[in-house]
C-alpha cells in the first residue's frame, strides 16, 4: 500500500472552499504570479474547471503610462494647463528639432543625425 503522507502529484495543491465560496490561493502560487492582496481576478468556468486569471485593469503594453513617474508628469501638465500655461507650438519639424537640441544641450545637427538614424522613440527614451 502507498504511503499516505507522500503526495502523488506534488505540483497540485488543494484548498477547501469555505463559507461564501472563499478559498485561499497558496502563498507559493501568489508569489510565483506576483499577486498582491486585493488584486482583482476574473473567474471563469472552462471545461468544467474553475479558472482564475489576474485581471489587468491596464493592458501590459500601456502599463508604463500608469507608473508614478509618468503620472507625475501628467499631473504637472494638467496643473500648467489649469494655470493657463500653454506649451510652445512648432510650425515645422526643424523648429521642433532645434528646440529639442537646446533643451538637451546638443547642437541641432546632432539631433538631426540621431533623428535620421534612430527611431524617435528610442532617442526620446534615451534622453529621459
Block mean pLDDT (10 aa), the chain, length 128: 55 85 89 87 92 81 88 94 90 85 81 66 63
pLDDT (0 to 100) of residue 64: 87
Q: What angle do CA 85, 89, 73 make, to 5 degrees?
A: 50
pLDDT (0 to 100) of residue 77: 92
Q: What is the DSSP letter of 118?
A: S
Residue that has been written with the C-alpha cell 472552462 in this structure = 46
Whole-structure pTM value: 0.38
Q: b/e map of 54-80 (b: 16 or more CB within 10 Å)? A: eeeeeeeeeeeeeeeeeeeeeeeeeee
pLDDT (0 to 100) of residue 56: 72
pLDDT (0 to 100) of residue 125: 64
pLDDT (0 to 100) of residue 38: 87
pLDDT (0 to 100) of residue 78: 94
Amino acid at each position: 500500500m502507498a504511503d499516505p503522507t507522500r503526495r502523488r502529484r506534488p505540483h497540485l495543491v488543494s484548498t477547501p472552499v469555505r463559507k461564501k465560496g472563499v478559498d485561499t490561493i497558496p502563498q507559493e502560487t501568489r508569489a510565483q504570479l506576483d499577486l498582491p492582496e486585493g488584486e482583482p481576478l476574473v473567474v471563469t468556468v472552462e471545461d468544467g474547471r474553475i479558472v482564475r486569471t489576474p485581471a489587468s485593469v491596464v493592458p501590459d503594453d500601456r502599463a508604463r503610462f500608469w507608473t508614478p513617474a509618468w503620472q507625475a508628469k501628467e499631473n504637472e501638465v494638467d496643473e500648467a494647463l489649469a494655470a493657463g500655461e500653454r506649451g510652445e507650438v512648432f510650425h515645422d519639424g526643424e523648429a521642433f528639432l532645434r528646440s529639442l537640441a537646446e533643451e538637451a544641450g546638443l547642437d541641432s545637427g546632432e539631433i538631426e543625425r540621431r533623428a535620421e538614424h534612430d527611431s524617435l522613440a528610442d532617442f526620446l527614451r534615451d534622453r529621459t
